[in-house]
Structure 1
């Protein structure tokens, strides 16, 4: 079976307009989060990660009526497409597969007060609430008339999209897969939902929340963002003469079959997913799901200890970018490609590892050769999805 490789990638994240800016954020350990005043309950403040770019126009095309989630995805896909040097003379054998957790909820909420007033309801009222506008927007922008799918499996959605793309390429259904994820969930509805469960902190400073691997802090930082990677079979990429940035060696997913808002506290299923993804490979380091929620980070601790003990470094980039929900896995993939290309492990910032002192956390940028990275993701819908990305030697 031919190897599945990455020939292009693109990203939009808080404080990040392109892959070069992503490299700077990762290498320098820059926190790109900010305080949104009056956006919590009773006018309280919350910490978020915001993409400030105006994406109504992308390469001269007007996307003003498109939902924010689609704008972010289109912009990230364009950067990946350009890097991969794809030609649009035969796009019938190309698939777009994007993941999202919330789709166009932000834009639905924006217009919800006009729902009973037909005159004020926008003409795009139906498609802005359709998650598939994300993938169809990318096909429209790039002129792709092949297959298009949008999947919603919570915070693992973009890694699940990569899994699906890998399977389709291996089965010979397509020749190129444009895969990834996008989410824009800085809405009041999502904020209040997480405030109700105690997952978001109010009226705190930026360094006091969204702190990975710390029992002394509370809550995660919700952010918006998108990332896209181009997948091809190795022989096809070599025939095109394009640069190969890495290989998707293994991907594995399972579901915990629990009630809403519950997670497996034993870490058994996350351990099984990561073990299945990496096989016999010992990764250079683990790019972790850890985001500042105590149970989530504890599961990361259990999984890492079960498989690696204290021998393999672990880091989380969420102290920099915050948590971008269904696009986070793809953003972690992009960060891992950059890490392999430039030879460093990005730091876990904002934390001193309180309560996780025996975990080999990377606190400062570590310069070394990076041959492979294991990535972990978990979603409130119960999915555990893990991926192994390696250098293509």
Structure 2
């Protein structure tokens, strides 16, 4: 059995917006979502900038008492999922609950709470919160969303570092395409902006130490110096096409392909050959029935780290061939919001879907100096208006995890 899978709803909470409409308007306006750290004193700390969600209040979507028992990443995921369901325009009560699933990726989980509870533990072990374990574990985002929606089908958390959300979307796509589910809420969530997390990433030389906001996240620029740690969630409502069509759903775009591979190379560095990432891209566009020259937009992983941007460029050339790669427009949403780790693929899939629908590709911000090893078209000069035949959204995670989804314009 092979069925078509479409996007009928989307929801997000991220540094550029607390819903899809606000997010997309700010993306199109090329607004910068990163900000100076105010969670702790940075006077003696080398990292100054993060991609934080400001003034977040989940009470519109979650009961206040219940929200207190949910970690921030679970709150993000629940709000984004409810937004996606609202946009889909139905609660899917006509579908058997076991045919409705929730797959939400989380790269790290409740790290802030872990930091706080370990501090308590070191002072007095019996003061550790009874809610610590259920609040901290990454799968609680998917579990909570299921409790909120009544979806009883496949319910799990993909944890593949920065590829978590794209793997979640890809696996949901597979479940629907192959006939195991009819609808799924899928994507990713993350909330671990703290001195503890920032210290870990900084000590491994992964973070930008820029002091000016506009110089912090600069994907593909010669002088890029690392990523900006961000937080948020992005959730899609995927639906079997015939069901969506029968109920007159507003179809945003079509998920048409998915590729997943492993570098089997290094704990943190992508493979220099780009072979595995290229194979994931190739699997995605071939499953979508596209030729390399028909892939004319890629929302890159584009982290602003030295190795990722260089090796992702290599992988794109290998996946499409040199000639097609040079004609493809590439951008990095992380240039605006930073790197949301396990949530990155979710918020970037939203941008990719809307780009396909509207024929709009946002500019990659922060780029000033060309890098000879990153020599493709990264939309660094201006926004583009392009009729997008096929788009790829890439996610490449620590551990060598590669995931790519292919999104096509919905044409009935």
**TMscore range, shorter length:** over 0.9
Q: Is the 8 A contact 1:283 1:373 kept in 2?
A: yes
Q: Is the 8 A contact 1:251 1:276 kept in 2?
A: yes
Query: Quick check: 1:130 aligned with 2:143?
Result: no
Query: Who is 2:37 aligned against?
Result: 36
Judged with a 3 Å threshold, the aligned counterparts in structure 2 of structure 1 residues 316 and 133 are, in CA distance, closer, same or farther, namely same
Distance 1:244 1:284 in 2: 21
Query: Who is 1:288 aligned against?
Result: 300
Judged with a 3 Å threshold, the aligned counterparts in structure 2 of structure 1 residues 273 and 45 are, in CA distance, closer, same or farther, namely closer
Query: Who is 1:53 aligned against?
Result: 55
Judged with a 3 Å threshold, the aligned counterparts in structure 2 of structure 1 residues 154 and 290 are, in CA distance, closer, same or farther, namely same
Q: Is the 8 A contact 2:106 2:139 kept in 1?
A: no
Name stretches of at least 5 consecutive residues in structure 1 with no aligned partner.
none
The count of residues paired between Structure 1 and Structure 2 equals 393
Distance 1:94 1:29 in 2: 36
Query: Who is 1:222 aligned against?
Result: 229
253, 267, 271: which one aligns with 2:274: 267
Judged with a 3 Å threshold, the aligned counterparts in structure 2 of structure 1 residues 238 and 203 are, in CA distance, closer, same or farther, namely closer
Q: Deviations over 1:28-70 (max 9, x none)?
A: 1111101116556933442100011333524351311211110
**Structure 1 vs Structure 2 CA RMSD:** 1.9
Distance 1:389 1:60 in 2: 31
Deviation at 1:326, TM superposition (A): 1.1
Distance 2:25 2:183 in 1: 29
Greater mean alpha carbon deviation, residues 181-190 or residues 107-116? 107-116
Q: Is the 8 A contact 2:5 2:256 kept in 1?
A: yes
Deviation at 1:88, TM superposition (A): 5.0
Query: Quick check: 1:247 aligned with 2:254?
Result: yes
Q: Is the 8 A contact 2:296 2:327 kept in 1?
A: no
Deviation at 1:295, TM superposition (A): 0.7
Greater mean alpha carbon deviation, residues 146-155 or residues 244-253? 146-155
Deviation at 1:150, TM superposition (A): 1.0
Deviation at 1:80, TM superposition (A): 0.3
336, 348, 364: which one aligns with 2:364: 348
Judged with a 3 Å threshold, the aligned counterparts in structure 2 of structure 1 residues 30 and 120 are, in CA distance, closer, same or farther, namely same
Query: Who is 2:330 aligned against?
Result: 314
Query: Quick check: 1:86 aligned with 2:98?
Result: no
Distance 2:47 2:205 in 1: 15
Query: Who is 2:156 aligned against?
Result: 149
Query: Who is 1:180 aligned against?
Result: 187
Distance 2:26 2:189 in 1: 19
Query: Who is 2:375 aligned against?
Result: 358
Judged with a 3 Å threshold, the aligned counterparts in structure 2 of structure 1 residues 100 and 337 are, in CA distance, closer, same or farther, namely same
The residue correspondences of 1:231-242 to structure 2 (distance < 5 A) are 231-242=238-249
Tell me the secondary structure at the aligned position of residue 187 of structure 2. strand
95, 98, 105: which one aligns with 2:101: 95
Deviation at 1:284, TM superposition (A): 2.6
Query: Quick check: 1:302 aligned with 2:314?
Result: yes
111, 114, 125: which one aligns with 2:120: 114
Distance 1:382 1:267 in 2: 11
Q: Is the 8 A contact 1:29 1:349 kept in 2?
A: yes
| Structure-1-length-normalised TM-score | 0.95
Q: Is the 8 A contact 2:47 2:207 kept in 1?
A: no
The residue correspondences of 1:364-379 to structure 2 (distance < 5 A) are 364-379=382-397
Distance 1:39 1:173 in 2: 50
Deviation at 1:343, TM superposition (A): 2.5
Query: Who is 1:212 aligned against?
Result: 219
Name stretches of at least 5 consecutive residues in structure 2 with no aligned partner.
none
Greater mean alpha carbon deviation, residues 131-140 or residues 47-56? 47-56
| Structure-2-length-normalised TM-score | 0.90
Q: Is the 8 A contact 2:9 2:86 kept in 1?
A: yes
Q: Is the 8 A contact 1:250 1:387 kept in 2?
A: yes
Q: Deviations over 1:312-331 (max 9, x none)?
A: 11111111111101111111
